[in-house]
């Protein structure tokens, strides 16, 4: 069954660019200039568009072309459709970071985003000044379906919270980091360093981005027949350093995140009193898109960014 609207069948889709430009500028001369057309050619195209849509679309009031009710109704949809079409064609064509205005979509937790992304964005901006990035909150450790459908270009994740990677998902090792413990400056129980006894006796703050019942450190302690007292569970890292900095509570987290947080809150960094495996950041993408020029460039730029 053909669901294409009759108006769409008989319209020259190039005329939608005229509509979009005129709606934006409110004048034929301004819209024609944007599209590199003469005002007479633009007016001719507008006449054809009016006939196709059976509406005058714009009426002149002084020096302005004012949209009709129908134009107002369809303007946002036309603008979005043109944007999506442009981005789709741009994805399919050769990618030149120096001139591309491509939008890349990432998922990440705020825990990884605030510590990792600032340097990455700076590296991207130096080479690709018009490229934009959209960061979305990660609903899952690996957003497999979103990567498969192309709704997400890359996901930033870490191995201690990810299960086995599906075969069609590419997982590139980015960098590893060690865990540390943060306390408020001058914590009375840590003046001579942080002992295991002090660690287990203290209250702890834990960030669980997907509302897990417990953090990965708790699983590690359980394997050692040890247990800590988690007093505060948080879905994001934003409040964590300030809670630690104004209380007697402890928090265990990667060193890179801790040093970044130390710039914003009165906290002190300690070595953990037991062995914790390194924290490994990975860059996830889908194999269907991983070999495109744009993805190859972005992956190379990100993986080339150093932190340690």
Q: Are residues 165 and 299 in the same domain?
A: yes
Q: How far is CA 42 from CA 16, 54, 61, 77, 104, in A?
A: 12, 18, 18, 21, 33
Q: Are residues 87 and 163 in the same domain?
A: no
Domain count along the chain: 3
Q: Answer whether residue 308 is part of any domain.
A: no
| Integer Cα distance of 50 and 12 in angstroms | 11
Q: Are residues 211 and 197 in the same domain?
A: yes
The predicted pLDDT at position 43 comes to 93
Q: Answer whether residue 244 is part of any domain.
A: yes
- Single pTM value for the model: 0.67
DSSP symbols for 237-263: STTHHHHHHTSS-BEEEEHHHHHHHTT
Q: Answer whether residue 269 is part of any domain.
A: yes
Q: Are residues 204 and 272 in the same domain?
A: yes
Q: Answer whether residue 121 is part of any domain.
A: yes
pLDDT tens-digit series, residues 187-232: 998 888 899 999 999 999 998 877 666 778 998 999 999 999 999 9
The predicted pLDDT at position 226 comes to 96
Q: Are residues 81 and 45 in the same domain?
A: yes
Consecutive 10-residue runs of the chain (308 residues): their mean pLDDT? 53 87 92 90 93 92 92 90 75 80 88 85 94 85 85 82 75 91 93 92 89 79 94 89 95 92 91 92 88 90 86
- Mark which of 42, 59, 92 sits at the end of a domain: 92
The whole domain housing 231 covers: 179-277
Q: Are residues 21 and 108 in the same domain?
A: no
Q: Are residues 188 and 161 in the same domain?
A: no
Q: Are residues 169 and 51 in the same domain?
A: no
Alpha helices, DSSP H, located in the chain: 6-10, 15-25, 28-34, 39-53, 69-92, 110-127, 144-149, 196-201, 216-223, 240-245, 255-261, 293-303
CATH number of the domain at 138, please. Answer: 3.40.190.10
- Mark which of 92, 118, 137 sits at the end of a domain: 92
Q: Answer whether residue 29 is part of any domain.
A: yes
Quick check: 134 and 104 in contact, CB under 8 A?
Answer: yes
The predicted pLDDT at position 84 comes to 77
| Integer Cα distance of 308 and 283 in angstroms | 17
């Amino acid at each position: 069954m053909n669901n294409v609207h009759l108006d769409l069948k008989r319209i020259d889709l190039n005329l939608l660019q005229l509509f979009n430009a005129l709606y934006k500028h409110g004048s034929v001369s301004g819209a024609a200039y944007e599209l590199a057309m003469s005002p007479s050619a633009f007016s001719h195209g507008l006449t054809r568009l009016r006939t196709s849509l059976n509406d005058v679309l714009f009426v002149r009031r002084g020096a302005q072309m004012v949209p009709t009710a129908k134009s107002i109704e369809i303007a946002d949809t036309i603008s979005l459709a043109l944007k999506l079409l442009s981005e789709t064609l741009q994805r399919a064509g050769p990618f030149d970071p120096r001139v591309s205005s491509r939008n890349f979509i990432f998922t990440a937790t705020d825990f990884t985003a605030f510590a990792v992304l600032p340097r990455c964005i700076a590296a991207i901006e130096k080479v690709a000044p018009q490229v934009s990035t959209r960061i979305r909150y990660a609903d899952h450790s690996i957003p497999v379906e979103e990567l498969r459908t192309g709704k997400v270009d890359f996901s930033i994740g870490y191995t201690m919270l990810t299960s086995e990677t599906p075969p069609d998902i590419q997982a590139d090792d980015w960098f590893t980091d060690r865990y540390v413990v943060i306390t408020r400056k001058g914590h009375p129980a840590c003046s001579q360093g942080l002992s295991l006894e002090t660690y287990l006796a203290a209250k702890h703050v834990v960030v669980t981005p997907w509302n897990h019942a417990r953090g990965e450190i708790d699983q590690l302690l359980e394997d050692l027949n040890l247990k800590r007292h988690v007093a505060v569970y948080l879905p994001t890292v934003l409040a964590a350093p300030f809670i630690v900095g104004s209380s007697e509570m402890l928090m265990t987290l990667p060193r890179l995140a801790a040093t970044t947080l130390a710039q914003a809150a009165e906290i002190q960094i300690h070595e953990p009193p037991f062995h914790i495996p390194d924290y490994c950041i990975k860059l996830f993408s889908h194999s269907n898109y991983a070999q495109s020029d744009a993805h190859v460039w972005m992956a190379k730029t990100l993986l080339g960014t150093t932190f340690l």
